[in-house]
């Protein structure tokens, strides 16, 4: 197996090259087949790798060649597959394959079909590189590469300026984070002289808690994570990223790329464990993001926007988990979230497909009888995300919440409140979409149809995974044996030794579970009463909203705030520099030299009178000057 | 010895008259006188060949050519527009400075030995002819080409263009 | 001839140089202050002769006939030059009805 792991990322790259070159000549079926098959083969290899890691318990570390050698720093091109990355491989290739399959149906009528598959394959390649890299530099290649693919795919329909703007926004926001990440890596090189995980972490584990470099390094890495994983204050790109095709939203902006930040922090967990201040900041930022995004999601009317904010909110949960030291919990949530959020996005895509491109929930309704498979699978996803047992979301969220409770009660209360909001807005989305009367046009009503099998099969598979996903880390409090936790233990051993243990009694844990299930049900019922019983609808854009809902509907005016705080001053500064420094200063200098030359020449030209006598006179003076110089100048010397 | 200074004085005197005479014809006549003093200088230096050539070529040919041209143009009246006074002052000033500069460059020579005729044969036709036809044979022949081309050029320039004349 | 040549025995070389410089400068002044092309031309001849005289003086002083041969060449050259120069002046007069060099002020941009 060790010899073959290079195939895992190379196959999608080959798919990118083949599909990219043949995008105009291949038939759509062939393109889809190649793209999906290569990812499927990667998935098969990933399973084999996973099984090997599981059976031997030892990470696979393969060095291919020495890539960068600069003085004392050596960066090999090497892959490291351990417990953490093997699971990420499964998510990326598995969910990636399902989404490829789904895209065959979803993108079938699109002109850019071949291009789309090429980009998707490229994304999978970079994501695999990010996960498999054995050092921060290779991780950074993948990190940048997924950002690029994200940009390409958000702006996939680039003829729409708003979509192109969304792509640029995502790219720029990501760049801000990337800079943090890059600086963090530089600091690591400065402090440790290496970027290899295998040498860094054991070295770091011997150092004291709160040692000098860790706070700065972790804060910088965390800034990188906030960009990629859409946390406060860099989260605004993710909702806009919904401009891309829905499978992209599912793959990149829900299941894989946005979890890169969590993966990176989980990978460098020992650094973070040794910097308690950063941990606190991460927890607070994560919690704030979770609450903030949930509040916004409550009033959104675009089905994809609801899911986008819910993604931001769930990512906030994961950061909360990281911040309170629940690395396993956070990673568990990455796993389950990949299942149910991909499912929800694909379901939403199916709904949009059925509605002929309509994304506004106010124009949907009553779809549950018409697109049954989509409805049932989405319901499963919603139950999973809302945290109702025994579906997967319950377990992962609960693990984070119980760790938060052990850390601080305030965190727990806010977390539970956010969980309640989550349940509310998800069921609100379901009720608005599937219950009630159909509110669209007659044409749309006529058009509504179940999606083809290539789209429903991924839904069913993901729904099944969303149901059983919780089993892999069945908590001990409920008589399970926390398989994932034991599996990942070698990675977090050093951190667990540093961090205060958060052991709760089984009774407390059960009580906490009861509370979160309770609030989820309350929210569910409240949403049912509000949207099904009373049949109330979100008001149209033109109507006045009450202050608080208005604030939420307009996303707390964060975009406008950024506009005012950053773009406007920047614009002003640019205009100022353009007008004053560039136009007057630099242009003035350049033009001044030109004008000066012209003016001087105009003056000097007058000396050229054409009067031969004058020329001779000047010549005579010149001869005299030369003579005088040779007489008096030379004698002195 | 005093002969030299007397002739030198005459040279300077006549050359000044050349450039100051209002009438160009007078200028030419003064120039002939100047050149005559030069011929005397050559004789004093025992450069007999040069003295004769100077007499024949300069005074006989060139200056006659000047006179002839002047008559041809028929400009013997005092029609020459006078230059402004300041320009004249500037010209004299410039030339004076040049003279001073040239004289002061004598400092560089820094030797004032008398000119002694070491070889009385030096400037004789026989001696010069030997030098001319031995060492300077090629330049001498080339100078004939120069004279020929000058002749052709002068004829070409002075002939009226048949097209414009018509 | 002996007596004639003996008269210069006491004349220092510097005085010849001085004489030539003065006549040369007079030629220059003539060029500068006159507008009549023919007179200017004559001034140029004056300068040429000043140089000739100096060359001859040096030739005698150093006992080398080369200087005198050079003077001979200069005279040949001057003859050619005068022929061409006067032809040009005739042309100018034909075209402008004047031999005032200030008319020829086209030597500029």
List, as one string, the DSSP characters of A168-230.
Answer: HHHHHHHHHHHHHHHHHHHHHHHHHS--BHHHHHHHHHTSPTT-HHHHHHHHHHHHHHHHHTT
Chain position carrying tokens 């060492």: B135
Distance from CA of C68 to the nearest CA of A (A): 26
Contacts of C102 in chain A (CB under 8 A): 611, 613
Output the pLDDT for position C23. 92
Residue B93's pLDDT band (cuts 50, 70, 90): confident
Q: Give phi and psi for B110, each to the nearest 5.
A: 55, 30
Residue among A45, A41, A5 nearest A133 (CA): A5
Predicted local confidence at residue B118, as pLDDT: 72
C-beta of residue A360 within 8 angstroms of C-beta of residue A301: yes
Q: Count of A–C CB contacts within 8 Å?
A: 29
Please report the pLDDT score of residue A25 as a whole number: 82
* Contact indicator for B119, B42 with CB cutoff of 8 Å: no
Residue in chain B lying closest to A635 (CA): B108
Which of C14, C42, C99 faces B73 most closely, judged by CB atoms? C99
Q: Check whether B154 has a pLDDT greater than 70.
A: yes
From the list A623, A624, A631, the residue facing B108 with the nearest CB is: A631
Closest Cα to residue C27, out of C53, C3, C2? Answer: C53
Contact C1 B120 (CB under 8 A): yes
Region of poorest pLDDT, from A88-102, A118-132, A363-377, C39-53: A363-377
Cβ of B92 within 8 Å of Cβ of C29? The answer is: yes
Please report residues of B whose CB lies closer than 8 A to that of C15: 4-5, 8
C-alpha pair distances (Å), A231 with each of A174, A270, A342, B154, C11: 11, 21, 19, 97, 108
Q: Taking CB atoms and an 8 Å limit, are C102 and A605 in contact across chains?
A: no
**Alpha helices, DSSP H, located in A363-482:** 372-386, 392-407, 409-434, 442-447, 453-468
Q: Who among B95, B98, B107 is closest to A631 (CB)?
A: B107
Residues of C in contact with A616 (CB under 8 A): 31-32
- Span C2-11, mean pLDDT? 59
Chains that touch A (3 or more CB pairs under 8 A): B, C
A128 or A72: which leads in pLDDT? A128
Task: Tell me phi and psi for residue C101, to 5 degrees.
Answer: -70, -15
Average predicted confidence (pLDDT) for chain A? 84
Map residue B124 onto helix, strand or coil: coil
Alpha-carbon torsion, ordered A479, A481, A482, A486, to 10 deg: 160
What are the phi and psi torsion angles at A115 (to 5°)?
-60, -40
**Inter-chain touch C109–A616, beta carbons under 8 Å:** no
What is the value of ipTM here, to two decimals?
A: 0.85
Residue of A nearest to B92 (CA): A617
Q: Phi and psi for A439 in degrees, rounded to 5?
A: -115, 5
Are B94 and A630 in contact (CB < 8 Å)?
no
C60 and B12 within 8 Å at the Cβ level: the answer is no
Cα B101 to Cα A414, B13, B95, B106, C18, distances in angstroms: 102, 21, 10, 9, 11
CB contact under 8 A, A610 and C108: yes
Chain B, 26 to 85: residues with Cβ < 8 Å from chain A are: 83
Which residues of chain A make contact with B104, given a CB cutoff of 8 A?
627-628, 631-632
State how far the Cα of A342 lies from the Cα of A334, in Å rounded to an integer. Answer: 11
Q: Is the pLDDT of residue A479 over 70?
A: no
- Average pLDDT value for residue range A464-473: 82
CA torsion angle A610 A612 A617 A621 (round to 10): 70
Q: Determine the distance in angstroms separating the CA of C103 from the nearest CA of chain A, rounded to an integer.
A: 9
Check CB contact under 8 Å for A620 and B101.
no
Interhelix angle for A327-354 vs A453-468, to 10°?
A: 150
Helix (H) or strand (E) holding B84: none
Residue A119 has pLDDT above 50, yes or no: yes
Least confident interval from A224-228, B99-103, C2-6, C63-67: C2-6
Confidence (pLDDT) at C6: 57
The SS3 assignment for B164 reads: helix
Q: How far apart are CA C50 and CA B109, in angstroms?
A: 18
The pLDDT of residue A476 is above 80: no
For residue A235, what is the DSSP state? -
**What subunits touch chain B, counting only 3 or more CB pairs under 8 A?**
A, C
Q: Which of A81-85, A209-213, A573-577, A587-591 has the lowest mean pLDDT?
A: A209-213
Tell me how close the Cα of C10 comes to any Cα of chain B, in angstroms: 5
On whether any CB of chain A is under 8 Å from the CB of B96, the answer is: no
Tell whether the model's pLDDT for residue C8 goes beyond 60: no
Q: What is the pLDDT of residues A484-493, one digit of tens each?
A: 777 888 888 8
In whole angstroms, what is the distance from residue A390 CA to residue A311 CA? Answer: 21
| Cross-chain residue pair A627–B94, CB shorter than 8 Å | no
Average pLDDT over residues B150-156: 88
CA distance C64 to chain B (A): 7
The yes-or-no verdict on residue A602 having pLDDT over 80 is: yes
Report the gap between the CA of C48 and the closest CA in chain B (Å). 11
Cβ-proximal residues to A615 (8 Å cutoff; 6+ apart), any chain:
C107
Print burial letters for B84-106: b (CB count within 10 Å at least 16), e (below 16): eeebeebbbebbebbbebbbebb
- Report chain A residues whose CB lies below 8 A from the CB of B89: none
Out of C105, C107, C109, the one facing A605 most closely (by C-beta) is C109
CA distance, residue B106 to nearest chain A CA (Å) = 9
CA C47 – CA C27 distance, rounded (Å): 5
**Mean model confidence pLDDT for chain C:** 83
Q: Do C105 and A608 touch (CB under 8 A)?
A: no
- The residue-averaged pLDDT of A408-436 equals 87
Ranges A147-156, A365-374, A537-546: which has the least confidence: A537-546
Q: Is A529 left (phi over 0), alpha (psi -120 to 50) or beta?
A: alpha
Q: Calculate mean pLDDT across residues B128-150.
A: 90
Q: Which listed CATH number (1.10.443.10, 3.40.630.30, 3.40.50.620, 1.20.120.1200) goes with B2-77+120-165?
A: 1.20.120.1200
Q: Where are the beta strands (DSSP E) in A438-572?
A: none
Q: Using CA atoms, how far apart are residues B103 and C18, in angstroms rounded to an integer?
A: 6
Is 70 exceeded by the pLDDT of residue A547?
no
Chain C residues with beta carbon closer than 8 angstroms to that of A614: none
- Among left, alpha and beta (phi > 0; psi -120 to 50; other), residue A193 is left
- Residue B14 pLDDT > 90: yes
Q: Do B62 and C45 touch (CB under 8 A)?
A: yes
Query: Å from A589 to nearest chain C CA?
Result: 28
pLDDT over threshold 80, residue B96? yes
In DSSP terms, A73 is beta-bridged to A70
- Whether residue B139 lies within 8 A of chain A, CB to CB, comes out as no
Residue of A523, A360, A547 lying closest to A427 (CA atoms)? A523
Q: What share of chain B is helix, strand, coil (3-state, %, to 5)?
A: 75, 0, 25
* Nearest to A333, CA basis, from A315, A358, A351: A315
- Token pair recorded at residue A446: 């006529």
CA triple A562-A566-A568, angle to 5 deg: 100
Residue of B63, B99, B155 to mutate for C, most C C-beta atoms under 10 A: B99
- Residue C96, classed as helix, strand or coil, is helix
CA distance C109 to chain B (A): 23
Chains touching C by CB (3 or more pairs below 8 Å) = A, B
- The percentage of residues in chain A with a pLDDT greater than 90, rounded to a whole number, is 5
The model's confidence at residue A637, banded by pLDDT at 50, 70 and 90, is very low
Confidence band for A394, pLDDT divided at 50, 70 and 90: confident
Give the SS3 label for residue A70: strand
Q: Residue B93, CB half-sphere, CA atoms under 13 Å: how many?
A: 9
Question: Which is more confident, A429 or B159?
Answer: A429
Better pLDDT: A345 or C104: A345
> What distance in Å separates residue A612's CA from the closest CA in chain B?
13
Q: Residue A258 has what pLDDT? A: 84
pTM score, whole prediction: 0.67
CA-to-CA distance for A125 and A15, rounded, in angstroms?
9
Q: What ranges do the domains of chain B cover? A: 2-77+120-165
pLDDT digits (tens, 9 = 90+) for A272-313: 888 888 888 899 999 999 988 888 888 888 888 888 889 899
Vertex A242: Cα angle to A250 and A422 (nearest 5):
70
Query: What's the CA gap between C96 and A158, in Å, rounded?
Result: 76
Residue of A nearest to C107 (CA): A610
A64 burial class (0-12, 13-18, 19+ CB within 10 angstroms)? exposed
How confident is residue A449, by pLDDT bands cut at 50, 70 and 90?
confident
Subunit contact C104:A612, Cβ cutoff 8 A: yes
Q: Where are the beta strands (DSSP E) in A338-379?
A: none
């Amino acid at each position: 197996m060790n010899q073959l792991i290079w195939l895992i990322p190379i196959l999608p790259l080959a798919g990118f090259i083949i599909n990219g070159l043949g995008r105009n000549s291949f038939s759509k079926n062939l393109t889809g087949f190649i793209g999906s098959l290569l990812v499927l083969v990667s998935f098969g290899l990933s399973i084999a790798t996973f099984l090997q890691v599981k059976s031997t318990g030892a990470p696979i570390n393969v060095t291919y060649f020495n890539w960068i050698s600069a003085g004392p720093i050596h960066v090999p091109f090497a892959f490291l597959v351990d417990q953490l990355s093997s699971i990420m491989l499964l998510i990326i290739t598995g969910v990636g394959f399902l989404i490829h399959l789904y895209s065959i149906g979803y993108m079938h009528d699109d002109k850019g079909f071949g291009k789309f598959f090429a980009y998707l394959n490229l994304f999978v390649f970079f994501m695999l590189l990010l996960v498999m890299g054995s050092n921060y530099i290779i991780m950074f290649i993948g990190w940048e590469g997924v950002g690029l693919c994200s940009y390409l795919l958000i702006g996939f329909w680039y003829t729409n300026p708003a979509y192109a703007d969304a792509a640029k926004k995502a790219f720029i926001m990501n760049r801000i984070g990337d800079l943090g990440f890059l600086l963090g890596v530089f600091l690591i090189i400065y402090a440790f002289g290496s970027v290899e995980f295998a040498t860094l972490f054991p070295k770091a584990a011997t150092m004291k808690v709160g040692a000098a470099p860790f706070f700065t390094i972790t804060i910088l890495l965390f800034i990188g994570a906030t960009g990629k994983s859409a946390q406060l204050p860099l989260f605004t790109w993710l909702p806009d990223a919904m401009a891309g095709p829905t499978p992209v939203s599912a793959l990149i902006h829900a299941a894989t790329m946005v979890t890169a930040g969590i993966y990176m922090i989980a990978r460098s967990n020992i650094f973070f464990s040794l910097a308690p201040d950063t941990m606190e900041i991460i927890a607070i930022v994560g919690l704030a993001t979770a609450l903030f995004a949930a509040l916004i999601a409550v009033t959104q009317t675009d089905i994809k926007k609801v899911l986008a904010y819910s993604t931001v909110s769930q990512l906030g949960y994961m950061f909360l988990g990281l911040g309170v030291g629940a690395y396993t919990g956070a990673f568990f949530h990455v796993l389950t979230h990949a299942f149910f959020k991909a499912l929800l996005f694909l379901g939403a895509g199916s709904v949009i497909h059925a509605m002929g491109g309509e994304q506004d929930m106010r124009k949907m309704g009553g779809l549950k009888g018409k697109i049954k498979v989509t409805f049932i699978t989405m319901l499963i996803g919603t139950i999973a995300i809302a945290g109702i047992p025994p579906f997967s979301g319950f377990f992962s969220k609960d693990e984070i919440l119980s760790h938060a409770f052990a850390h601080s009660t305030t965190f727990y209360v806010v977390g539970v409140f956010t969980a309640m909001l989550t349940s509310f807005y998800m069921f609100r989305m379901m009720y608005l979409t599937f219950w009630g009367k159909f509110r669209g046009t007659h044409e749309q009503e006529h058009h509504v149809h179940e999606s083809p099998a290539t789209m429903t099969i991924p839904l069913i598979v993901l729904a099944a995974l969303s149901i059983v996903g919780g089993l892999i880390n069945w908590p001990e409090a409920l008589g399970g044996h926390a398989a994932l936790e034991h599996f990942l233990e070698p990675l977090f051993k050093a951190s667990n030794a540093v961090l205060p243990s958060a052991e709760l009694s089984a009774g407390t844990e059960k009580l906490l579970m009861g509370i979160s299930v309770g609030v989820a049900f309350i929210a569910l019922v409240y949403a049912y009463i509000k949207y099904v019983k009373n049949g109330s609808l979100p008001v149209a854009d033109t109507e006045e909203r009450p202050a608080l809902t208005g604030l939420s509907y307009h996303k707390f005016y964060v975009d406008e705030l950024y506009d005012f705080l950053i773009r406007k001053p920047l614009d002003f500064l640019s205009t100022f520099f353009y007008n004053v420094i560039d136009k007057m200063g630099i242009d003035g200098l350049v033009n001044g030299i030109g004008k000066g030359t012209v003016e001087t020449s105009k003056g000097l030209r007058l000396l050229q009178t054409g009067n031969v006598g004058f020329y001779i006179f000047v010549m005579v003076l010149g001869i005299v000057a030369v003579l005088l110089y040779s007489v008096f100048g030379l004698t002195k010397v | 010895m005093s002969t030299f200074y007397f002739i030198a004085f005459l040279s300077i005197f006549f050359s000044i008259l050349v450039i100051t005479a209002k009438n160009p014809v007078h200028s030419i006549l003064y120039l002939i006188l100047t050149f005559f003093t030069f011929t005397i200088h050559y004789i004093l230096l025992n450069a007999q060949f040069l003295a004769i050539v100077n007499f024949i070529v300069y005074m006989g040919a060139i200056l006659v050519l000047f006179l002839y041209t002047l008559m041809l143009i028929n400009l013997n009246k005092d029609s020459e527009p006078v230059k402004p006074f300041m320009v004249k002052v500037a010209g004299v000033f410039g030339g004076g400075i040049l003279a001073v500069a040239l004289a002061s460059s004598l400092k560089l020579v820094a030797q004032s030995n008398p000119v002694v005729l070491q070889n009385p044969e030096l400037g004789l036709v026989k001696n010069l002819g030997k030098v001319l036809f031995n060492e300077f044979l090629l330049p001498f022949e080339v100078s004939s080409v120069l004279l020929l081309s000058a002749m052709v050029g002068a004829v070409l320039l002075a002939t009226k263009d048949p097209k414009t004349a018509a | 001839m002996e007596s004639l040549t003996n008269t210069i025995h006491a004349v220092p070389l510097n005085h010849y140089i001085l004489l030539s410089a003065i006549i040369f400068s007079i030629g220059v002044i003539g060029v500068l202050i006159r507008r009549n092309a023919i007179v200017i031309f004559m001034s140029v001849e004056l300068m040429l002769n000043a140089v000739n005289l100096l060359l001859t003086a040096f030739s005698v002083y150093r006992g080398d006939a080369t200087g005198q041969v050079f003077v001979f060449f200069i005279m040949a050259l001057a003859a050619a030059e005068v022929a061409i120069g006067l032809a040009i002046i005739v042309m100018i007069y034909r075209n402008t009805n004047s031999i005032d060099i200030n008319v020829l002020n086209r030597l500029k941009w």
